[in-house]
Amino acid sequence: EMTEQKISECDIIITGLYPEATKKYITDNAQKFKKGAIVLDTCGVKEYVCEDMYRVARENGFTFIGTHPMAGLHLSGFEHSKVTMFSNASMLLVPSADTGINELEIVRKLFSAIGFTNIQNTTPEEHDRIIAFTSQLAHVVSNAYVKSPSAKLHKGFSAGSYKDLTRVAKLNEVMWTELFLENRENLISEIDTIIENLTKYSKALKEDNADELEKLLRDGRICKEQIDG
């Protein structure tokens, strides 16, 4: 159990809370943290969390570094944890401009020791902009996709494509609502973009335009090949 006395003895503290709760916990306990301690969050949004926590850390003599492990399951809770969850996974570090090299190296070594192999720095702004596409949009699309009336009839007609596209539809709606709202401008932009793209496919089908449909599909294939090989 993490008591007040133990908090003041810790060199590194990692929080595993929702964004609002993270800010409250760190702010409420700021004066209890050991001077020179490193405090890390693990939230899925950073602009909302980091700037305030950088300030709290400076005012109270500890270092705050945002972190985001790019690994996980669609299931929540400690009971679903896995020893190998972080093996060969990516970790994003979101330090402030004045974070010391020594502190960053300590954090990098910590995450390397538990299996992360791609550890890179980013800013709160870049983090939230890209995560809106790589993670949040994927959850929105998956969640919306399974609302099709046809979804109830998929058994026997579905394989890998259905499984891949629907995995994250089984989400924690309380957590994701908070994450989406705290990054809403970036997420709205991504949703609007995919709606625009889907409309092009729909238009080509409605017009029975084989050339346009083939072009859209070819362009998508080329994009994937150029991005991921």
The token pair at 98 is: 């004045």
The CATH code of the domain at 4-123 is 3.40.50.720
Percent of the chain surpassing pLDDT 70: 98
- Pairing type for strands 63-70 and 90-94 reads antiparallel
pTM of the model as a whole:
0.92
State the angle between helix axes of 19-29 and 173-182 in degrees (0 to 180), rounded to the nearest 10. Answer: 80
For residue 66, the cross-strand partners are 41, 94
**Which DSSP string do the residues of 132-193 spell out, in sequence order?**
IIIIIIHHHHHHHHTTSGGGGG-TTT--HHHHHHHGGGS--HHHHHHHHHHTHHHHHHHHHH
So where are the chain's domains?
Answer: 4-123, 183-229
* 43-82: pLDDT as tens digits: 999 999 999 999 999 999 999 999 999 987 766 777 777 8
Compute the residue count for the chain.
229
Average pLDDT of the segment spanning 19-32: 97
Q: Is the pLDDT of residue 124 over 80?
A: yes
